[in-house]
Structure 1
Amino acid sequence: MPIEAELKARVRDEAALLSALDQLAPAAPATYRDHYFDSPDGAFAASGQELRLRTVQSPEETRHLLTYKAPAVDRESGSKPEHETQVADPRAAEAILRGLGYRTQIAFTKHCRNYRLRSEGRDMLATVVTVPEIDGTFIELETIVPSEADLTPALKTVRAVLRDLGIAEQDLTDELYTAAVAAATASHDPGDRPATT
């Protein structure tokens, strides 16, 4: 199963980071509208699995992606085996998921700038992210590896690229957007559940 070797960090100097990335690759802005699904009792997410229906809107196109992530195989980075496929009809995909017993756990929007890079023979995707419900800016840097045996060297390369971009080791985070959005929503509306539309 392919594994998404990824590290995420909080960004201290967004202008410097964007300048460094702009020298490496053209920016591709996009908006991600994410819906995460879970079983009614929450057991699916509690086991570390993810089931996501994402709409990606860019100036060029709109795409819909269905993604399944298995539990993390690396505790420090949170890297997970991943399967992803494009879907033609997101309403039909959502109906199928609901028919299988899954419900929307949480939904939110990510505003992204994507940069496709290459380092040490690896194709990489750097994404600068803001989420309206969460303070600050994040960078995600990922590469896909074919098996767990290649995960450690891949993460070493990811770390090296982040260092070159000015991201310090202490800025790395395992914070989940889903958890952060849920916490932010609860703190603003204590009596309400997170939006699940």
Structure 2
Amino acid sequence: MEVVEYNPEEWIETASGNKVSRASVLCGSQNIILNGKSLVLPGSIIRGDLAAVRIGRYCVISDRVVLRPAYKALPKGLNYFQLSLGDCVYVGKDAVVEAASIGSHVIIGEGAIVSKRAVILDCCEILPGAVVPEDAVIPPFSIYGGNPAVLIGELTEAAQRVHEEKAFACYESYVPAKAAGV
């Protein structure tokens, strides 16, 4: 994977190794939990002001992604639900995620939309531009694409390791500009 040099003044690196762009928007940061070694790239918006957002280890939140907790309209107003992402989740550029939960080892393609209260189980791929319907449950080891998203293939058990390696490589490829040549 290609090395990406970043200006350390434009990023925040936490004690647990998270790298968060200062050009991202974290609303309600007290309700956003990054478990470590995750990337939040420029232009991303994480809405922790609506409900808690939990992000596992080695997750990549790409450019201009929106992570927004799902809600349900009730007679007395809106009820927001926690949004959870497992470990080694890659969310592609311009994707919008309003899921109830996303398991580990999941790839969400560029421009995909994961609608309200959807549940994506472990080791799945949502193809670029796919639209996962509200309240959908995506089974493990599946590939979904289209609008509305439908099952178009299955992943092998090796996919888990492939997704892990991609997540590790992506995280390691982001280096401070002064350390890039070392």
State TM-score, norm by structure 1.
Answer: 0.26
Question: Which protein has the larger Cα radius of gyration, Structure 1 or Structure 2?
Answer: 1
TM-score, normalised relative to structure 2: 0.28
Which structure has the highest helix share of the two?
A: 1
The higher-RCO structure (CA 8 Å, 6+ apart) is: 1
